[in-house]
A and B are shown apart, each in its own frame.
Chain A
């Protein structure tokens, strides 16, 4: 390998590294130092305040529950949708268009949409009432109905953010050479076998990307959660925002931010390792 071709990848990466360093690393370093400072002296006070806060436990629990529930549902749903699209004889572009609409919908708008459906006098209750299942407006989103509240948040998140997984998977699927599948069919493989033995393994890079991005984003989302759950469903990023914006304590907010970064990075490393593709396995 020549020196030039060894340097090439670095040259290709350089512009984006420089850009991100200027816009993120510098403020990030400031934030890290902020999280370990108390009145100008190094200390862990911010972290101990964070851990002893009454919302810390619930926020950690809720965030993990949410990510662990939402991300698998989205991956399975998006995979199913992508496979369905592949077989669709006509109207693929219409179906794909409709399914990707939520891509363009902001957090706040999505929160409003689901609030309109799930609130006491919303469409869900109107339907249940019409079916004779409830007697009148019923509250689902309160601290007294934690399971219903959690399901409401899950449904809203799945609605809002499955499209991004779908697009990544669709982009990946179309690059799997048709010949592999045709060869398998010649040998009499059943559709399910083709899916598990050929499609899924070849889709690994896209699945990895989708999983990493979705997980990282799932750890970050809170506008939808707040629109639906109010103060009843604390999540980590919500707490970071609260400490920064409402309590004006940047130190504790920075501690929360660091915690989120560490968790996201850990998840990323796990996915990078678990779904790694060796060069010789590449198509």
Chain B
């Protein structure tokens, strides 16, 4: 195995010029091993690939900065996880690397995201993913008449869930609403955009009221274990649920284990379109990184088309550069690729960006949506009252961060308004 001797690596000597690559992505043991033994295998230098959960990542990056002793040379994390590091001054602008990689064909809007609201490049897009729906083929006969699985509406999903519950006696739709689940992204990227055409501005609009009423209706057919699910792959494999929504990386195991049992398709559409949220992971260089040259070389290597294709084939995250996926992808990865393509190419697709400009308030922003869900759907509180009180919290957050609106909300001067 090349490089990547995690705990084995001794103290770094100046000659070795080891590159410490700390990532919040590709953490599970199999994925991390693939990064070390396949994806980074041909990199000419010495890389140590380390993984860390986002909170510990944040603590470490900030602590190293405050103490002025940096060990990490490359940081790989989600857009939203890198943003707080801009606020705390722990990232260094990498416009020079961006210029060198200009010919890689990274879409301009992705590069723009990489500026994290500043005027210079703070990260280089690394890989992308999104959320899809997965269904067990056993659920397909219960689809409501005339429904196209690749162009479902929320009404049809509810009817589907109802039919499943009535015929099997079980609640077979699942959502990842557990403590580590990614459910807030469902509200921000899927539910709200589809019903209200926005995320922040129409938070307590009449559309939003109707939406929560609908979602409450749908929830009758959702497995009550959902509030413990962090990853949907296990309940899918266990057939605790037959229809599930989650991040591609979190259903991948089910799809690669039993590709013949599942189909993938886009999330449903509401009156305003089919909301979906592209997920971007980026590579950044910390301020005072011990090996900036090595970092630049590593980033250039990772954004090579070959490496990007390898990443897709091995771990199911898709290229950010111009690259063609090989035809001989494994069946599970192929299912993911299909689901992603159907989502992106849907006629009514309505892309909803990741929150921009919230700094380290991203977690509290998520909490507004989770709490609203908890109160309305699980505790049965009055929709209007809940929306009014949570809108107050949301307003406070937006004003404190002065974050302008992001798509699909209409652009704003100054802090994004909550109507």
Contact = CB atoms under 8 A, between A and B. Distances in A.
B224 A230 contact: no
Interface residues of A, number: 21
A209 B352 CA distance: 56
Interface string B348-385: 00000000000011111011000100110010000000
Contact of A143 (B84, B224, B362, B367): B224
Interface in B169-200: 177-179
A231 B367 contact: no
Given A230-B178, A231-B178, A247-B363, A141 B228 contact: yes
Contact of B363 (A121, A137, A248): A248
B227 interface: yes
A232 B227 contact: yes
A245 interface: yes
A143 B378 contact: yes
A230 B238 CA distance: 18
A143 B378 CA distance: 8
Contact of A246 (B223, B227, B363, B375): B363
Interface residues of B, number: 25
Given A120-B238, A230-B179, A231-B178, A139 B224 contact: yes
Contacts of B360: 248
Contact of A230 (B84, B228, B374): B228
A141 B374 contact: no
Residue among B55, B84, B179 with the highest chain A CB neighbour number at 10 A: B179
A7 interface: no
Residue among A139, A226, A248 with the highest chain B CB neighbour number at 10 A: A248
Contact of A141 (B58, B225, B240, B371): B225
A181 to B, nearest CB: 50
Given A120-B240, A121-B238, A231-B177, A248 B84 contact: yes
B367 A247 contact: yes
B158 to A, nearest CB: 19
A3 B238 CA distance: 72
Interface in A86-126: 120-121
B364 A231 contact: no
Contacts of B55: 244-246
Contacts of A120: 225, 238, 240
Interface string B65-95: 0000000000000000000100000000000
Contacts, number: 58
Contact of B362 (A121, A245, A248): A248
A212 B240 CA distance: 42
Q: Give the secondary structure class of B's interface.
A: helix
B84 A144 contact: no
Contacts of A54: 371, 374-375
A268 interface: no
A231 B367 CA distance: 12
Nearest to A49: B393
Nearest to B238: A121
A246 B378 CA distance: 21
Contacts of A229: 228
Contacts of B179: 226, 230-231, 242
A31 interface: no
A193 interface: no
A142 interface: yes
Contacts of A33: none
Interface in B247-280: none
A249 interface: yes
A246 B362 CA distance: 9
A144 B238 contact: no
Nearest to B372: A54
A245 B58 CA distance: 9
Nearest to A234: B179
A72 to B, nearest CB: 28
Contacts of B363: 246-249
B186 to A, nearest CB: 14
Interface in A235-266: 242, 244-249
Nearest to B240: A120
Nearest to A144: B224
B174 to A, nearest CB: 12
Contacts of B225: 120, 139, 141-142
Interface of A: 54, 120-121, 137, 139, 141-144, 226, 229-232, 242, 244-249
20 contacts: A54-B371, A54-B374, A54-B375, A120-B225, A120-B238, A137-B240, A142-B228, A229-B228, A230-B179, A230-B228, A230-B229, A231-B179, A231-B227, A246-B363, A246-B366, A247-B363, A247-B364, A248-B362, A248-B363, A249-B363
- Please provide the 4 A-B residue pairs with the shortest distance between their CB atoms, ordered closest to farther: A230-B228, A245-B55, A247-B363, A142-B224
